[in-house]
Chain A
């Protein structure tokens, strides 16, 4: 498994589990999750997706 795949898998599973926590999370925890995801989103511009 390549490092990229490991990162991808970790990200997907981490995302799933972190979202599963949101229902029981405090407002501060939700805010932190929201800000982290939003910061990452701003780096992930679809214009960078190359044509295949």
Chain B
């Protein structure tokens, strides 16, 4: 059973998707304060980042530093998804930092930044393993 799970990347993807939809549901449906929404963005980014790093053979050591520990064999399908995910996370990182500054009041509120973030979250949800 565990061996099947270990090798079933579709199942891995589905589990991550369920978690992502759960988070997106909270973002979309719940009436979150800006700080709660920001915390949600941080959490979503972090979970997707960890998934990418794990999938590409990286692990965080006990000091909190990422280290390459494995060289996994990836299918072309997985590579395509990971490339899209990297692009989204790279775009998302500065926007989350900017949103943090908006919430803390050090930068003026921008509806465009908020919408851009929601669009990236939407794109993340569409990265379904084939």
The interface of chain A, by Cβ under 8 A from chain B, is 1-2, 4-5, 7-9, 11-13, 15-16, 18-20, 22-23, 30, 33-34, 37-38, 40-41, 43-46, 48-52
Contact = CB atoms under 8 A, between A and B. Distances in A.
What secondary structure prevails in chain B residues at the interface with A?
helix
Interface in B26-78: 26, 30-33, 35-36, 38-40, 42-47, 49-54, 56, 58-60, 64-66, 68, 74, 78
A49 to B, nearest CB: 5
Q: How large is the interface on B (under 10, 10 to 19, 20 to 34, 35 or more residues)?
A: 35 or more
B38 A16 contact: no
A19 B51 contact: no
Contacts of A52: 56, 74, 78-79, 82-83, 86
A23 B86 contact: no
Given A22-B26, A23-B36, A41-B45, 4 more contacts: A12-B47, A19-B43, A33-B39, A49-B56
